[in-house]
Amino acid sequence: MSNPQSPTVRHRRLARQLRQQREKSGLSMERAAAALGWSRPKLLRFETAKTRPRPSDVEEMLNLYGGDEALKLALVQLARDIRKRGWWSAFNDVLTGSFAELEDDASQIRSWQVQFIPGLLQTSEYALALVRILSPEDAEDVLLRRVQARMARRTILEREEAPAFAVVLDEAVLRRTVGGSQVMARQLEALASAATKPNVSIRVMPLAAGEHAGMDGPFVVLSFAGAFDQDVVYLEGMGGEIYIEDVGQVGRCNVRFDRICEQALSEDDSVALIADIAKEYQQFHDSP
């Protein structure tokens, strides 16, 4: 279950910008709070996304810090938009964290996957088989809701201003049977079809590559069109979701993704391999 009190992506972004603008002004938190007539804990809660500031609070802070007027107007508007609801709000019962909002807001998504097909490219059959094995304790109606949410996510790639989506899959992902051979055949056919979209790039890291730059696990890098939006790295595992925003660490992940792409097959060779493996699944299903 998602935490309704967790900060949204917009809220995190606003908090980060407010802290950065105060630091640029040369004011300590204590001096800034005193000048605003607030307590230090109040200002700290705004800067750490623990409390949502009102637009008037943001305007008051930025009047004190000075700086670019256009940025001030943009941040005040961001404060007004913090509570804006997106498509994911209809699935709060099954979506966790802020990844859906990050993904929806991204202009570019770079994904390295070693276990399964990424959600944006999953068929409903594959998605259902996957959630059944990963969440065996959940009731069937909950699993179906998870699949519905995943299918709603897929529409991101179809919209007019769709993000550029680049994914590299370990070949083992293609050969790991999820849901049976027929489900896999249809999933890989759908992958090959998705690769024809102008905003989608699919590559495969072949098993024959041996050691490679992505051996320490999967990750997703999300980039945004906004002038003051920083890239975010998303990691997911048994321990939950992790979001990395440190510029140095994010930069290293981008370099790592570039190295992974260099070692992977070309897009054309990747699609050819996907089609060949899809045929293998189909032949296995058709054999007596």
For residue range 6-32, what is the model confidence (pLDDT) as tens digits?
456 778 788 988 999 999 999 999 999
d(C-alpha 61, C-alpha 7), whole Å: 20
More confident residue, 232 or 229: 232
Q: What is the mean pLDDT of residues 97-106?
A: 83
SS (H, E, C) 132-190: HHHCCCCCHHHHHHHHHHHHHHHHHHHCCCCCEEEEEEEHHHHHCCCCCHHHHHHHHHH
Q: How confident is the model at residue 220 (pLDDT cuts 50, 70, 90)?
A: very high
Pair type for strands 232-237 and 164-170: unpaired
If we measure between CA atoms, which residue out of 203, 194, 211 comes closest to residue 170? 203
Query: What is the spatial distance between Cα 57 and Cα 43, in angstroms, rounded to a whole number?
Result: 10
Give the range among 212-221, 241-250, 278-287 with minimum mean pLDDT: 278-287
* pLDDT of amino acid 256: 97
Tens of pLDDT along 234-279?
Answer: 998 777 888 888 889 999 999 999 999 999 999 999 999 999 999 9
pTM, full prediction: 0.79
Over the chain, what is the mean pLDDT?
90
Band the pLDDT of 4: cuts 50, 70, 90.
very low
Whether 84 shows a pLDDT value over 80: the answer reads: no
Q: What is the pLDDT of residue 284?
A: 79
89: DSSP letter: G
Note the helical H segments in the chain.
Answer: 9-25, 29-36, 40-47, 55-65, 69-81, 99-105, 124-134, 140-154, 171-175, 181-194, 247-263, 267-286
Q: How confident is the model at residue 105 (pLDDT cuts 50, 70, 90)?
A: confident
